[in-house]
Amino acid sequence: MRLKLDIIPEEDFSYWEINKHTIQGMIYSHLWNTEYKKMHEEKKFKFFSFSDIFPPTDFKKGEEKNFIISSPDREFIEVLYQELKNEKYLYLGKRGFMLKKINKFNLPLKKRFITGSPIVLYQDNRENLYFSFERNPDLSFFLERLKDNALKKYNAFYRENFTMENMIFDKIIFGREVVVPLTKGRNKFIIIGTTWKTLEKFKYDRDEKRVYKFIMDCGLGEKNSLGFGFLNPVR
């Protein structure tokens, strides 16, 4: 399930003033009075993601932009929708926006996807080292780690032990590697991720359909609840 938020800024400012912690904070703040109020404190998968804000240009007063929140947890999306639907105004950090429109919708599963935010994977999480093709151009390592991470989240969500022998995707077209600067409080750090023009699975068997629907709604890779690994299906 998904929510699409159409927002209109009240003033001009840089695109980079609104970062992923800003959007994540807005989401968590609208869960404070719900059964999901302790989600941000829990040391486990959060099972939601969100896209980058589009179009990715500086904010101009009165110029509409949008972003999408997705989750395989229908109740989570419904609760967030109920909390947001009557809002006329949103704060993202210190910046104010009119909430012009919010739509709740579901998308059918397709066989081809494009990233709506960079995919992040750890090469070594104990060392807090992110995977980088510039540092380690090993595509098989990337795809295997991507599959392992996706199945770990899927099995945690559905309490299953599903395995998959085949590669997670049959056709991929690389976009670019990106360095995303983030600020949380006074701390500044960077995250390395990759964007993809195509991530395609040629054929699903019956059991795999639910896995890929989960992937489409939960996101790929690490740090989904911080807005990484968001996927859009492509016709």
| Catalytic residue positions, numbered | 28, 40
Handedness of CA 195, 186, 90, 216 (dihedral sign): positive
Amino acid found at 162: F
Q: 3-state secondary structure string, 150-166?
A: HHHHHHHHHCCCCCCCC
CA geometry: angle 123, 127, 131, nearest 5 deg? 20
Instruction: Give me the residues paired with residue 182 across strands.
Output: 189
Q: Are 71 and 48 in contact (CB under 8 A)?
A: yes
Strands 65-70 and 2-9: antiparallel
Q: Tokens representing 138?
A: 């090993």
Cα separations in angstroms, 7 against 39, 185, 196: 25, 24, 26
φ, ψ (nearest 5 deg) of residue 142: -60, -50
Q: Which residues contact 205 (CB under 8 A, 6 or more apart)?
A: none
φ, ψ (nearest 5 deg) of residue 212: -75, -30
